């Protein structure tokens, strides 16, 4: 379903003489229908840069992102944005809820950005129930715990019933028990037939649902890590 080939992002940094480096460097990656794939890697290894290119938010310096065989970077901005809000669900890294919208409106937002047809409130409430926080629908983001906020972001990413859910460190700063609960939700989502691409830390990768294919990212390069997966299960 999703295939990246030779995906590269060059950044420049430094003072007067700016030095170019590849934050993502020739990455090949695939996610098949219904599959769960995780990417682990140290801070600064290029994980978020990679996901931002895969979700159509950051234009690659080189390489291609194919979705069902079509190069998304060949589309116009409006087409990319419609695709992002319908075919995929994205949980960006960190706090990503809009502070001035309550939980229900945060979850409904991708619907108003894309589909707009049909009844959405009941669906949004059902998604909130699915992630265990239906009782918080009227609350505002500032009134939520970190784990609750992640659940809202997950419900929001699922609102248009995407074929692929992409999540950037969805349990980044949560305790182990909460991490476990969120990982169980991901397992359930995969069980329902949605493919999932996750960026995780080491500990989360180990408790990821069995069957997850794991890539390791180092200095912008991606490598398979099948041997390690076999050792940890
Ligand atoms: N807009 C930018 N301009 C220049 N350099 C950037 C830019 N964005 C990110 N970088 C650099 O690219 C590298 C990869 O950053 P990225 O955010 O992708 O890492 P990450 O693996 O997601 O890290 P973390 O685990 O901390 O979220 C880092 O060295 C970062 O400093
Ligand atoms: Mg990151």
Residue range 105-132, pLDDT digits in tens: 999 999 988 867 788 999 999 999 999 9
Q: Which of 9, 12, 23, 169 to mutate to test the pocket of ligand 1 (most atoms within 8 A of CB)?
A: 23
Residue whose Cα lies nearest atom 26 of ligand 1: it is 43
Tell me, yes or no, whether 1 lies in a domain: no
Cα 227 to averaged position of ligand 1 atoms, centre (Å): 27
Q: What pLDDT does 175 receive?
A: 87
Domain of 218?
31-54+88-228
Tell me, yes or no, whether 72 lies in a domain: no
pTM listed for this prediction? 0.91
Cα 7 to averaged position of ligand 2 atoms, centre (Å): 17
Closest ligand 1 atom to 50 CA: 18
Tell me, yes or no, whether 59 lies in a domain: no
Per-residue pLDDT of the chain (233 residues; tens, 9 = 90+): 999 999 999 998 876 677 899 999 999 999 999 999 999 999 999 999 999 999 999 999 999 999 999 999 999 999 999 999 899 999 999 999 999 999 999 999 999 888 677 889 999 999 999 999 999 999 999 999 999 999 999 999 999 999 999 999 999 888 888 888 888 999 899 988 999 999 987 666 666 666 678 899 999 999 886 544 433 33
CATH number, domain at 150? 3.40.50.300
> Domains in the chain: how many in total?
1
- Count Cα neighbours of 176 within 13 Å in the Cβ-side half-sphere: 4
Ligand 1 binding pocket, CB closer than 6 Å: 11, 13, 23, 41, 43-49, 93
């Amino acid at each position: 379903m999703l295939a990246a080939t030779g995906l590269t992002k060059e950044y420049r940094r430094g003072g007067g003489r700016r030095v170019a480096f590849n934050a993502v460097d020739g990455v090949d990656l695939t996610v098949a229908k219904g599959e769960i794939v995780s990417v682990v890697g140290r801070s600064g290894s290029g994980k978020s840069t990679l996901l931002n290119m895969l979700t159509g938010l950051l234009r690659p310096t080189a390489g291609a992102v194919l979705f069902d065989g079509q190069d998304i970077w060949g589309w116009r901005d409006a087409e990319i944005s419609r695709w992002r809000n319908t075919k995929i669900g994205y949980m960006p890294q960190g706090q990503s809820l809009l502070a001035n919208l309550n939980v229900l409106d945060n979850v409904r937002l991708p619907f108003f950005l894309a589909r707009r047809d049909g009844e959405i409130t009941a669906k949004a409430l059902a998604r909130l129930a699915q992630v265990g926080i239906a009782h918080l629908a009227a609350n505002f983001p500032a009134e939520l715990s970190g784990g609750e906020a992640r659940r809202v972001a997950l419900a929001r990413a699922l609102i248009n019933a995407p074929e692929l859910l992409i999540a950037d460190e969805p349990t980044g700063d949560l305790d182990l028990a909460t991490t476990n609960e969120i990982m169980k939700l991901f397992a359930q989502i995969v069980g329902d037939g949605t493919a999932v691409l996750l960026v995780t830390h080491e500990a989360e990768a180990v408790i990821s649902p069995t069957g997850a294919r794991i890539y390791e990212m180092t200095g912008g390069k991606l490598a398979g890590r099948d041997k390690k997966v076999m050792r940890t299960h």
